[in-house]
Amino acid sequence: MYKFKKLFQPIKIGTMELKNRIAFGEQAPQASHGYITQATEDFYVERAQGGCGLVMVGGICPDISGWGTESMARIDDDKYIPLLARMGKRMREVAPDVKIGIQIMHEGRAMRPDEAGAAKNLKPVAPSPVKFKFGVVPHELTVAEIKHLENQFVAAAVRVKNAGYDCVEIHGAHGYLIGSFMSPYTNRRTDEYGGSIENCARFACEIIRGIKEKCGKDFPLLIKVNALDRLDKKEAPVQLTPDIITAIAPYLEKAGVDEIHLSGGTHEAPMWSAVGPYYVPKAAFAGYAAQVKSSVKIPVGVINRINDPVLADELIIEGKVDLVWMMRPLVADPELPKKAEEGRLDEIRTCIACNTCHDILCQGWFHETRCAVNPDAWREGVSHLEPSLRKKNVLIVGGGPAGMEAARISALIGHNITLWEKDNKLGGLLNLAAIPPLKGEIMSIPRYYTSQFKKLGVKVELNKEATPALVKQLKPDVIIIASGSSTFFPPIPGIDKSLVVDARKVLEGSAKVGNNVVVIGGGEVGIETAEFLGTQGKKVTLVEILPTIGELMVRDVIDYVIDQLVQHKVEILTGTKVEEITGDGIVVSNKDQQKRVIKTDNVIIATGAKPDKTVQNALQGLAREVYLAGDCLVPSNIRVAVHQGNMTARMLY
């Protein structure tokens, strides 16, 4: 068993002592008209009792000019204090030894006034009128306006203190207002707020000094900054670098800040968003944090893709950072700190960095944020389970994500659970989803469920087909069928030819294909199959009938996979219909009805999935209650499958 050396040691940030070195933060709270919602309160209370040392409530807006969307929380008026205070009080009640804080965040030029959910009639503001790639040219702040905004940050910090929190943070990362002053890409000013390092740090420093003056020197103040912007060098030849932030850090320290933690990337950065998807290396900013740490004496932390407590411990042992920040990993499993400290590492539900959580938020809808692996996230207040008063024998058919989650929840309610999986391992389609490059972490999902099944006494039987005879022997009260889906083969002439192969078989390795292949279907499976084959040096053509590929994929991921396809020279044909599959290729037509013949060794079908009704038809009527969950009901993604498994099992009270 791994023995933690540093992670669970206390650390001091200014006058505040954290019980350990795991900080949760920062997740923009969901709000209604600026007021945090009940769901936000329940979400943070759950995080507080999970065992981390500090809970930093995510970005709350100090001024109307930075109110990115109507569902962003505000703190520019005392009327917002009571709800924030109540949330803090509840956090303290459940976890008296956890420290709590609020991050103040002004979106600056990154506001997108035309997006759905955006606050109306607001003009983004910034140090300089540099157009935001996905928005507009912001208003260049005058010095008087800068001073006004500094005062707004200070007033917001005073409200944080008055609401009873232990500390306050200012958001200086990700290209938002404070960060945009630090980056030479967005700060082109020639007055005292631009040019030199000292001038670029001035806005942050004046806010820090103002907060210290009004809240008191002993009220801890933290800042999140970018190590680098990661913008396209052609579009932004001059931008924020680790050297610049290392030079800025001592000014922040001198102004009075008590901790700095490093992030990176902005909304304009290609691929590597500030919320690193699965393809971003873990702890990618830790080296830069170490560089910044060498220039200051205050504690330095790091965030992004640190989903493993052992890695977190190692970063501190190596002296790269003093503490570690985790956001998505504690959304996926708020109890990660507790489980790690108690040596229950295999029980941690690991964040797979699929960025489902970020996707909907980026479209302006804070209230629709969801976690693919933790269906209870943001539903904490309504997800409580009571023990069932009628213990039932439940048979779950299928050990994919829906079946596993259904088994976990029904066991938690108190039923007797048997899970039959026809394969020799749990996971279902997760076993295939984990095969494309860099997606191996998906296998942490079946690992987590395996640990839960042991703990909850779920009887798992592998290599077991659910035949009517076997089910009759078992006599379950309830059957939850989660038997999955099969590939949908569209009615294209020639689809039955021998060169046609199911994409699933290609990924699992049971079908070998030639060196020149066509993949039909530009959804997630088709794209990842093309990428997978491209990495093997095969010549791949990807054909999609819609005008774009990856239509339903997470936006942070699609840019990356398209880049991978380009790198592997995959030819992408969109708006292209497959008219016919011949003995040695396909005939396609484009939107102008022009036909083209593509010679190929194999045609790989990735045109979606259809529910597998075989088990359902065979087992109908063999138990008092029969339910369907996951792909055998509606083929979809991991999130939908896990959520359906969860909701279905909740029917069994």
Ligand X SMILES: Cc1cc2nc3c(=O)[nH]c(=O)nc-3n(C[C@H](O)[C@H](O)[C@H](O)COP(=O)(O)O)c2cc1C
Using CB under 6 A as the binding rule, whether residue 349 contacts ligand X is answered as no
Whole-number Å distance between alpha carbons of 509 and 431: 12
List binders of ligand X among 355-394 (CB under 6 A). Answer: 357-358, 361, 369
Q: What number of chain residues touch ligand X (CB under 6 A)? A: 26
- C-beta closer to ligand X: residue 26 or 46: 26
Considering only 11, 275, 404, 503, the residue that binds ligand X (CB under 6 A) is 275
Residue 537 CA: distances (Å) to CA of 512, 531, 533, 540: 14, 10, 7, 9
Beta carbon of residue 365, minimum distance to ligand X (angstroms, whole number) = 11
Q: Could you report how far apart the first and last alpha carbons of the chain are, in Å?
A: 38
List binders of ligand X among 123-182 (CB under 6 A). Answer: 171, 173
- C-beta closer to ligand X: residue 249 or 419: 249
Using CB under 6 A as the binding rule, whether residue 332 contacts ligand X is answered as no
**Nearby residues of 323 by Cβ (< 8 Å), 6 or more positions away:** 11, 18, 21, 22, 23, 53, 259, 261, 299, 301, 316
- C-beta closer to ligand X: residue 26 or 421: 26
Task: For residue 47, give both structure tokens.
Answer: 């995080």
Task: Please state the φ and ψ torsions of residue 36, each to the nearest 5 degrees.
Answer: -60, 150
Task: For residue 582, give both structure tokens.
Answer: 């011949």
With CB atoms as reference, the residue minimizing the distance to ligand X is 59
Task: For residue 373, give both structure tokens.
Answer: 């692996």
Beta carbon of residue 326, minimum distance to ligand X (angstroms, whole number) = 5
- C-beta closer to ligand X: residue 350 or 644: 350
List binders of ligand X among 445-484 (CB under 6 A). Answer: none
The contact pattern for ligand X, residues 294-323, with x = CB under 6 A and - = no contact, is ---------xxx------------------
Whether 278 is catalytic:
no
Whole-number Å distance between alpha carbons of 153 and 135: 24
Determine contact, residues 169/222, Cβ cutoff 8 Å. yes
Whole-number Å distance between alpha carbons of 502 and 611: 16
- C-beta closer to ligand X: residue 281 or 537: 281
Beta carbon of residue 81, minimum distance to ligand X (angstroms, whole number) = 19
Beta carbon of residue 441, minimum distance to ligand X (angstroms, whole number) = 12
Whole-number Å distance between alpha carbons of 74 and 148: 17
Using CB under 6 A as the binding rule, whether residue 263 contacts ligand X is answered as yes
Whole-number Å distance between alpha carbons of 339 and 50: 9
Beta carbon of residue 306, minimum distance to ligand X (angstroms, whole number) = 6
Beta carbon of residue 8, minimum distance to ligand X (angstroms, whole number) = 18
- C-beta closer to ligand X: residue 29 or 534: 29
| Among 44, 80, 165, 176, the one annotated catalytic | 176
List binders of ligand X among 65-124 (CB under 6 A). Answer: 103, 105
List binders of ligand X among 520-559 (CB under 6 A). Answer: none
Whole-number Å distance between alpha carbons of 292 and 289: 5
Determine contact, residues 101/56, Cβ cutoff 8 Å. yes
**Nearby residues of 632 by Cβ (< 8 Å), 6 or more positions away:** 398, 481, 482, 483, 484, 485, 611, 612, 613, 615, 616
Q: Which residues are catalytic?
A: 176
For ligand X, the binding residues (CB under 6 A) are 25-28, 58-59, 103, 105, 171, 173, 224, 263, 274-276, 303-305, 326-329, 357-358, 361, 369
